[in-house]
Structure 1
C-alpha cells in the first residue's frame, strides 16, 4: 500500500484545487443572480486569495518548525465545506465569507502537501512534484466542468458534492498520515545511505536567488489568477458563447495541465528547472498578448484560435509548475515548508489581488484592454529568469 501514498496526496490535491476552481466557473451565474459588476466579481476572487496569500508563507514557516502533516487533511476539509456552502448562501456578503474560508483551506493544505511529496519523491523530486501537480491540474480542469454542470442544471445546492468528497478524503488522510510520515522517513534514510560516500554539504538558504524566483512567481500568478477568473466572462461577454461554454473553456485551459505538469517535472529533472521556467515564459508572453486580440478576428477563426491560444497558455503555465517548486525548495533547502508556501501556495493565490483592478479597468474600458495590462508582468518575469543561477553552482 505504501507505493500508493503519493497518489493519495495527489488525490487530495485534486479535491482541494477543484474547490478553488469553482468560484471562477460560477462567476457568470453570480453576476446574473446578484447583479454584480466585474469589479465586484474581482473582489470575490480577491476574497478567495488575499488572506490565503498572507497565510501561506506563515504556515510554511510554522510547518518547518512544528511539522504537522495532518494539516493536509484539515485544509482539504475546510476548502470542501466552504465550497459546498456557496450553494446555500443568499447574499453577496455570504459569498465573500465562503470564498475567503475556501482560500484559507487552500493555504493550510499546500505547504504541508508539497513538503511531504518532496520527501516521498526521494531522489526524483521533479517527478514527485509532477505527480502532485497532476492533482492540482485535474482539479482545476474538472472542477469548473462539474460545478458548471451542477449549477446550470441541477442547481447550486449540488455543490455539496464537493463537501462530501472532501470529508471522505480528509478522513482517510487523517487516519493514514502517521503511516505516510513513517514511509517518508524510510525514504529519507535510504537516500542518505545511497549518498553516504559523498561529503555531506550543510544546508543553506540562498535568499537572493529565491527573491528573483519570487518575481517570476508573482508575474506568473498575476496572469494565471486573472485568466482563471475571467476566462468564463471573456468567453460569454467577448466571444458571445453560453455560460456552459465559458465553464468548458476553463476545463480546456486546465486539461492540458494534467499532462504538461508531469512532463514539466520530468524535463526539470533532465534539463534543470531554470531552462524549463524560461521556456514557459517564452511561450506564455506572446500567447497572452494574442488572447487579448482574439475578439478582433473574424467569426470563422475566432473560436478555434481562442482555444488554441488558451491551450498554449495552459501548457506554458503547467510545464513550469514543478520546476518552480523544486527550484524554490532547493534555494531554501533549510526552509522547505516556507519555500513550498511561497512557490506552491502564494503562486496560486497572490495574483488574485490584481483581479479587482482588472475588473475595474474592464468596467471602464473593456475586458481585452484590461487583460492587456497583464503582459508587462510576463516581460518582467522573463527578464528575471535570466538572472537565476543553477543551485549546484552555488555550493
Structure 2
C-alpha cells in the first residue's frame, strides 16, 4: 500500500496541467503510510535513546551518591530544554519550514548521548541530558507537521502512529538498559550511537519527500481552508484561550502522574517489594508497553467517535485504578500500572489533533507547544515529586498523585467543535 501511495503523490508532476487537478487532490488526500511509518520508526529510535536517561537513574544514583531531588533535576534539565525550545522551533517552521531540520535534531540527540556515556560529574550529566532534550525540541514539531501532511485527513491515526513509535522506543529503552546498560555500566550507552546515525539517514529521505511535496500541497490546503470557513464560524480568541488552558490542565494532570510512574516506578518497586533493579526494569517495560497500546487505540477511536469522548475516558477512567495501585501486591501493581498506562495514553493524540484543529495554520507551533508542555510538565512534576519523596517517602507520592486526575472534569469546558460552531442556515 505504501508504494502505491508514494507513487500516487508523484502523478501531478507527470501529467499536463489541465488534467492534473483531480489526481493532485486525490494524491494529497491519500494517507502516505510510508512517510508516517518512517517518522514513527525514527521516533522509536529517538525516544529509545532518550529513555536510556531515566533507565540510568539507579546506576547514576549509586555511582554519584545522588538524592531523589538531584535525580529529579536530571529529568528537569532533559525535559525543560525540550519544553522551552519546541514552541520556538514550531513557530519558526510554521513561517519557514525546514525539511532537513529533522536530521539536525537527531544530531543533537547523538551528541548528548555520546556525552552522557563519558560524563564523569553531575554537571556533565545535566549538560548531556539538556542536549538530548534539545534534540527532541527540534525533532518533534516538524515531525508532527510531516505526519499531518501525510495523513490524508486521518489525523488521529497519523498522530497515534507517529506517537506510538516514540512510545515503543520509550518502552524498549528500559528493556535494553536491563540487558546492556545495567550489566555493562554507563559507558555502554555509546553503543546506541548507531541508532542515531540510522535515524539521521532515514530522516534525510523524509526531508527530501517533505521538500518535494510541500509546494504541491499549498493549493489544496487553501481550498480546504476556504471550505472550512464557509461551513464554520470561528471561535473567539477568548474561547480559544480557554480551550487551550483546559488542554494544558489536562496535560498537567496526565503528565505529572505519568512522571511519578516513568521516573520513580523502579524505585517504588525496589523500596516496597525489595525486587532487583533488573526485575523493576521489566515492570517498567510492561508499563511502557501499555502506553504503546493505549496511544494506538486512542488515535483510531478518536477519528471515529471524536476527540472529547476520548479525553473524558482517558483522564477520569484511569482514576479508580490509580487510587488502587498503592495498596496492591506486586502482581496487581503491575496489572494496575499497565491498565492506567493504556487508559491515560489514549489522550495525547486526541489532545494534539484537537489543538491543531483549534488553531488551523499553526501545526508546528501547536505541536511544539503540546509536545513541549508534555515534556516540561513531566520534568517539573518529576523534580517536585522527587523532593516530595525525599521529605516523605516514595509510597506517599503514589498515594497523593492520583488525585491530580480529577482535573479531567475540565473537559466539560471544551467546545464540541474545535474549529468553530457550524453555521445555521
TM-score norm. by structure 1 comes to 0.91
After TM superposition, give the deviation of residue 374 of structure 1 in Å: 2.0
Which residue number corresponds to residue 179 of structure 1?
209
* Corresponding residue number in structure 2 for 1:299: none
Alignment of 1:232-311 (within 5 A): 232-294=266-328, 302-311=329-338
Q: May I ask how many residue pairs the two structures share in their alignment?
A: 387
Is 1:117 aligned with 2:147?
yes
| Structure 2: distance between partners of 1:261 and 1:247 | 21
Instruction: Quote the offset at 1:170 in angstroms.
Output: 1.0
Question: What is the rounded CA distance, in whole Å, between the counterparts of 1:20 and 1:227 in structure 2?
Answer: 16
* Cα separation, partners in 2 of 1:364 and 1:90, compared to 1, 3 Å: same
Deviations 1:3-43 (A, max 9, x none): 41211111111111112211221211111111111111111
Name which of 371, 376, 380 aligns with 1:349. Answer: 376
Structure 1 residue runs of 5 or longer lacking an equivalent are 295-301
CA distance in 2, matches of 1:354, 1:256: 21
Q: Match for 2:243 among 203, 206, 209? A: 209
Residue 120 of structure 2 corresponds to residue 86 of structure 1: no
Distance 2:241 2:99 in 1: 25
Change (3 A) 1:348 1:197: closer
Aligned to 1:297: none
Cα distance, 1:174 vs. partner?
2.3
Question: Is 1:49 aligned to 2:83, yes or no?
Answer: no
Q: Is the 8 Å Cα contact of residues 210 and 332 (structure 1) preserved in structure 2?
A: no
Q: Does 1:323 align with 2:342?
A: no
**What residue in structure 1 maps to residue 413 of structure 2?**
387
TM-score of the two chains, using structure 2 as the length reference: 0.85
**Pairwise CA distance, 1:361:** 1.6
Structure 2 counterpart of 1:101:
131
Select the residue among 360, 364, 375 that pairs with 2:391.
364
The CA deviation at 1:290 is 2.0
Equivalent residue, structure 2, for 1:298: none
- 1:175 positional shift: 4.5
* Residue in 1 that maps onto 2:402: 375
CA separation in 2, counterparts of 1:97 and 1:18? 19
Residue 314 of structure 1 is matched in structure 2 by: 341
Q: 1:77, CA displacement in angstroms?
A: 2.2
Please give the alpha-carbon distance, in whole angstroms, between the structure 2 residues aligned to 1:185 and 1:394.
30
